[in-house]
Amino acid sequence: MAKKKLNFEESIERLEQIVERLETEEISLDEAVAYYKEGLTLSAFCKEKLTVAEGEILLLRKEAGLWQEEPFQTEEQEL
């Protein structure tokens, strides 16, 4: 059976499951490496989706005459 391709939200949920498993369960080194590899793949996918979404939003704002590019700040950067 082929693996189902996850969307952004499902990928984030899977990443959360991986992190929880790595933090709370005793697993073998091989399992940990496999989870880490899966997590990197999911992380790259999510980053790409966010980059595309950001570009689309900027384009829509520009087309609507609301163009005012501001650097994105995380909560950590605001503190």
C-alpha distances in Å from residue 10, one per residue of 49, 70, 75, 76: 12, 29, 24, 25
What pLDDT does residue 1 have?
A: 41
Band (pLDDT 50/70/90 cuts) for residue 79 is low
Query: What is the reported pTM?
Result: 0.71
Q: What number is the average pLDDT over the span 44-66?
A: 90
DSSP at 65? T
